[in-house]
Structure 1
Amino acid sequence: MRFITAALAASLFIAAPVFAQTAPAAPASDPAIAQKEADARLAAQGWLVLLDRRDWGRSWETTSSVFRGMVPLGTWMDAVPKVREPLGAFVERKIVESAYKTTLAGQPNGEYVTVIFQSKFEKREGIEAVTTVLDRDGKWRVTGYSPPAQ
């Protein structure tokens, strides 16, 4: 299962490089950036609720246009349960940090916020990372996800 998860993380969950790029960030001193981070954190938390409910289709529908273009719905529907179900039921999570960036490796320039969570599930706990992007429609949408390591 470890190999499958690693392969999926590399090919589907395009936030894999997030950990290397997201150093602990100081709180945003610019109120506009602080608001963007707050909005992106809410989007990330809402999206994770969809995963926690096993609403795989809706979780894909609410990702960014870039994500949907890179990861077909059928691939997502097949892959995400293989990554999430071994974790067991969701127990709790808290935000550890979030960081605003305008560049992200392998992604077009834009506005990104990566949110790092300390998450606890029935069978495992660890770090979850969700990267959001300010999408074309002006909404913060998920463009990458990295589940707790297996």
Structure 2
Amino acid sequence: MMKKMSSLVLAAMLLASGGVFAQGAKEVSDARAATERFMKLMDAEEYSAAWNSGAESVRKDMPKLAWNLLATTVHLPLGTLKGRSYKSATVKPATITFEYVADYENNHNVRESVTTVREKDGVWRVSGYGILADDKKPAQ
């Protein structure tokens, strides 16, 4: 059974611009590319760079120092990323949420959820990031 280790939420699916609808393969592709750039920064422990690349609402609602402390507390105990599998995308008005299952050094069944929003400048940026991990360590 999955146990909520901790949830790292950058922002609660804030919609930066009303009336924008995420539709079509290009939008999904662009949003997924933004998601994967963000995840690489997180995996490299470049938490400030991840914060800098996030949606305006994230930067406005959470100071960089608080983000770094929270990201370190939640992400570092997982250990080094060993692999990640894409599972699905949920497209809603103005947001696209991507689901992944990751294998980390200290936990091999981590569900990650990344929400993106298309901002006023037309660029997709991460507006939410959640981690759900079980307490089991990988077999040695």
Q: Which structure has the highest helix share of the two?
A: 1
Contact 1:15 1:130 (C-alpha < 8 Å) held by counterparts = no
Residues 117 and 129, structure 1, Cα contact 8 Å, conserved in 2: yes
Hey, what's the Cα distance between the residues in 2 that align with 1:15 and 1:83? 18
Residue of 90, 97, 102 corresponding to 1:99:
90
Partner of 2:11: 14
One-letter code aligned to 1:14: A
In 2, the alpha carbon distance for the partners of 1:51 and 1:44 equals 11
RMSD: 2.1
Q: 1:78 maps to which residue?
A: 69
Shift of 1:15: 5.5
Q: Residue 11 of structure 2 contacts residue 57 of structure 2 at CA under 8 Å; is this kept in 1?
A: no
Q: Is residue 128 of structure 1 aligned with residue 95 of structure 2?
A: no
| 1:48 partnered with 2:39 | yes
3-state DSSP of counterpart to 1:100: strand
Partner of 1:60: 51
Query: 1 or 2 for the larger relative contact order (CA 8 Å, sep ≥6)?
Result: 2
Q: CA deviation at 1:115?
A: 0.3
SS in 2 for 1:54: coil
The residue number in structure 2 matching 1:147 is 131
Structure with greater proportional strand content: 2
For 2:54 and 2:11, the matched residues in 1 are separated by 12
Q: Deviations over 1:75-103 (max 9, x none)?
A: 1011100000110001111110012111x
| Whole-Å separation in 1 of the counterparts to 2:26 and 2:57 | 23
The alignment covers a number of residue pairs equal to: 122
Residue deviations 1:10-37, cap 9 Å, x none?
A: 7x44359xxxxxxxxxxxxxxx522211
1:114 aligns to 2:97 (yes or no): yes
Which ranges of structure 2 fall in alignment gaps of 5 or more residues?
14-22, 135-140
Amino acid at match of 1:43: A
Unaligned runs of 5+ in 1: 17-31, 103-110
Structure 1 position 71, deviation (Å): 1.0
